[in-house]
A and B are shown apart, each in its own frame.
Chain A
Amino acid sequence: MSTWSRNNGALALSAAATCLLVGGTALAFLWVPQDADQGFSQKIFYLHVPVALTAYACFAWGAWKAWRLLSRRQDRYDLESYTAVHMGIIFGVLTLVTGSIWAKISWGVWWTWSERQLVLFLILFLFYSAYFMLRYSVAPGPARANMSAVYALFGVVLIPVSFLAIRLAGTLLHPNPVINRDGPQMSASMFGVFCVCLAGMLALAAALYRTELTGKRLDARLRELRELLA
């Protein structure tokens, strides 16, 4: 990793995130044509779906770092994996909240079991909250790092399996087909704005990840220093 990237990565990412998100939101509200079917409420799509995809990306990144920990056995991957999962949970909660608001707009209820993405995120939220429980109740060390890594890997495997399960359960609980929320097609301009928002959200997650990681590393180093001096 080049030193430029290490020194200025967070700065570059947050700058990119600011431009992309502000630009994307502006485009979403001011430029892009309104959806014919859903009207103004469709605009939330430019927030909710990027947040959801970013959460998936964070969990996947966490699992990747976990894999590296298990295969390389280098300490730093534990902190990186943990931070990525932390970011994932934050974006996951955001997904649940924005999704719930979207459900309220579309169907008048704050929660519905027929909304597959929301149910999947609920399961993931439970799963990764247990990740933090696991970390808090095990003494710090290589054992905790290994267990957290294995658990993070289980998480990403669980994502598609749970999605399949929810789809199966959907026919079990609601025999009628689920309302198709995304609409039949997206026009090119809508897709373009969506991509801008998605890129911005990913850049934001990456910037937050970097700053969080730096903060955690500083904390660890200061603690080490304190032990050396005291």
Chain B
Amino acid sequence: MSYLVDVATLARKDLRLELRARDTVPAMLLFVVSALVIFHFALPEESSGPAAVGLLWIAILFTALLGLGRAFMAEREQGLLDGLVLAPCDRSAIWLGKTLSTLVFLLLVEAIALPAFALFFDGSRIGPAAIAGVLLADLGIATVGTLLAAMASASRARELLLPLLFLPVVIPLLVGGVGAAVEPDPARYLGFLGLYDLIFAILSWASFEYVVTE
């Protein structure tokens, strides 16, 4: 039970920090709305509706990248990660706490992004299946992204490295998400997203310890 308490403490810490600093989430919000506007100008006139959904997903992915890039910044810059690692909690609790806070940020941003998309583009595309796809993919993005952000933050070129690590791994999420939104039979895609989440959550949870220790 103390494991869950640790996780909750860590997640609360991140949320509280964000509440006070208010820098990551507003930046992500502004980015996603700007991206949607750019996509309107980028799409030729007679583009298909599904293409716009694809662009929504690109916006979500890159907004997530923006948020993840800041995920471990404070910890690395101020040496807090060493302190956390030395703390008598399971290292994977750090991962889980950070994943939960990232998930909350993503959900907050998408709560604005999806209505914005419905406004700028074709709102009928955002049905329950699409939303379920977004939620499931958020899980995948948060779990894998947190692990990769921890890796990237240890390197010299952290802002450059994170997209390179992140994008190939989330291609399946993109396929699942767009498929769930566009296809008439979304069950397969949602099932696939769930499978991805399960596999990579377990993998990330188990291997986070090795990423932050030596």
Contacts and interface: CB of A to CB of B under 8 A. Distances in A.
Interface of A: 70, 123-124, 126-127, 129-130, 133-134, 137-139, 141-143, 146-147, 149-151, 153-154, 157-158, 161-162, 164-166, 168-169, 171-172
Nearest to B178: A172
11 contacts: A126-B164, A127-B168, A127-B169, A130-B161, A130-B165, A133-B161, A137-B161, A149-B210, A151-B165, A153-B203, A172-B179
Interface of B: 144, 147, 151, 154-157, 160-161, 164-165, 167-169, 171-172, 175-176, 178-179, 182-183, 188-189, 192, 195-196, 199-200, 203, 207, 210-211, 213-214
A168 B177 CA distance: 11
A165 B140 CA distance: 14
Given A137-B161, A172-B182, A150 B211 contact: yes
B154 A143 contact: yes
A31 to B, nearest CB: 41
A165 B192 contact: yes
B192 A164 contact: yes
Task: Point out which of B164, B178, B199 has the most chain A C-beta atoms below 10 A from its C-beta.
Answer: B164
Nearest to B164: A130
Contacts of A150: 147, 151, 207, 210-211
Contact of A138 (B156, B164, B213): B156
Contacts of B168: 123-124, 126-127, 130, 158
A63 to B, nearest CB: 12
Given A137-B161, A138-B156, A151 B151 contact: yes
Contacts of A171: 183
A147 B207 CA distance: 9
A161 B194 CA distance: 12
A134 B155 contact: yes
